[in-house]
Amino acid sequence: MEYRLGVDIGAAKCMLALVAGDGPEIVTYQRMDTDAVLAGPLPPGLALAQAVQQLLERSRIECEDVLGVGVGIPGIVERDQNTVVACPNLEMLNRVALGSEMGAALGLPVFVNNDANLNTLGEYTAGGGSGMRQMAGVFVSAGIGCGLILDGALYEGGDGAAGEIGHTVIVPGGLACSCGSHGCLEMYCSAKALSVVAEELYGRAHISAGAVSEQTAARYAGAQLLIEQAHAGDEPARAALDQAFTFLGYGLANLANTINPRLIVLGGTIPFAWPAGLETVRQVVESTALPAARRNLRIEMSALQNYAGVLGAAALVSLRLGRAAGA
């Protein structure tokens, strides 16, 4: 049996999974705090290689039975060198030659890519996008990530920055964004954006006293509180979420008009925490996108949820090694 290893590194949590054959079967996986892996004394490439080796040892799988390792990170990657260009949410990965560092330590090919791209590749090869030649994945967590499948292939753009819809301007001259621009979509619909609204509604002291779920980094506890309040029937919280998902709907209508996908998969912690947002998004797209761009468009929640990233990372190994990517 041949295996591929998928690694999905998020700002708060990361997951490693061993995937059997060319199919989407996860043999075993491990979920860890990202800090527990990356904040130690080892350079990031060696720390991740060590985590991979430990998973293989526990599974009694030899390194030579593994075809390669795919790694998703929340940033921009130079794809030919598998080097991280920028990773604002995990600064220890900035400009790290992650592919070559991990590859040298493991003696395996290691391929690195943007996490939204790999989540989308996972949905395309193993989830609801199976057989879709034109699709997009949009993931709303701390910020907004987006991956594109065009003509049946992952589209990364000239410099790995395709699909950055979170930084398309939706309010000219609006809120300042970490990218240096103003009025970016993710300043209006993301955990970051909702945390700002929560501070306005409830005050900072109330938010820091609240519990933090394992899926939300402490700095975005406000978004979690806002969503809890909305579920409890708080009208201002519901209105704030309605507005955030309305902005997201405009973003997806623009995306539909730009690439005319047949499927947009919606994922990430925010849509999962507030499923009613899906209907808001659908209504905005229905009333905004061109008829031709929305006629055959479905907008669905991610079927693979937390597993899309590792399955996409495993599919990246197949893709880069020239094997079928499980579709």
Strand order in the sheet with 66-73: 25-33, 13-20, 3-9, 66-73, 110-114
Q: Is 184 in the site for Zn ion (CB under 5 A)?
A: yes
Q: Is 327 in the site for Zn ion (CB under 5 A)?
A: no
State whether residue 110 is helix, strand or coil.
strand
Of 125 and 168, the one with the shorter C-beta distance to Zn ion is 168
Q: Is 136 in the site for Zn ion (CB under 5 A)?
A: no
Contact region with Zn ion (CB under 5 A), list: 52-60, 177-185, 248-256, 265-273: 177-185
- Give the count of residues interacting with Zn ion (CB under 5 A): 5
- What end-to-end distance do the CA atoms of the chain give, in Å? 19
Q: Is 266 in the site for Zn ion (CB under 5 A)?
A: no
State whether residue 273 is helix, strand or coil.
helix
Q: Is 181 in the site for Zn ion (CB under 5 A)?
A: yes
Of 189 and 207, the one with the shorter C-beta distance to Zn ion is 189
- Residue 110's DSSP bridge partners are 69
Rg from Cα positions in the chain: 19
The dihedral region occupied by 280, where left means phi > 0, alpha psi between -120 and 50, and beta the remainder, is: alpha
Q: Look at strands 135-140 and 76-78 and give their pairing.
A: unpaired
Contact region with Zn ion (CB under 5 A), list: 104-112, 176-184, 228-236, 257-265: 176-184
Q: Is 238 in the site for Zn ion (CB under 5 A)?
A: no
Least distance to Zn ion, CB of residue 135, Å: 24
Least distance to Zn ion, CB of residue 184, Å: 3
The Cα 34–Cα 13 span in angstroms is 5
Q: Is 118 in the site for Zn ion (CB under 5 A)?
A: no
Of 175 and 278, the one with the shorter C-beta distance to Zn ion is 175
Least distance to Zn ion, CB of residue 177, Å: 3
Of 45 and 143, the one with the shorter C-beta distance to Zn ion is 143
Of 21 and 174, the one with the shorter C-beta distance to Zn ion is 174
Task: Tell which residue, 13, 32, 157, has the closest CA to residue 74.
Answer: 13
Of 108 and 193, the one with the shorter C-beta distance to Zn ion is 193
Handedness of CA 115, 119, 120, 121 (dihedral sign): positive
Whether 43 and 60 have beta carbons less than 8 Å apart is answered as no
Contact string 37-76 vs Zn ion (x = CB under 5 A): ----------------------------------------
Which of 106, 116, 177, 256 is close enough to bind Zn ion by CB under 5 A?
177
Q: Is 183 in the site for Zn ion (CB under 5 A)?
A: no
**How many residues appear in the chain?**
327
Whether 242 and 211 have beta carbons less than 8 Å apart is answered as no
Cβ burial 84-100 (10 Å sphere, 16+ → b, else e): bbebebbeebeebbbbe
Which of 179, 196, 301, 327 is close enough to bind Zn ion by CB under 5 A?
179
Q: Enumerate binding residues for Zn ion (CB under 5 A).
A: 167, 177, 179, 181, 184
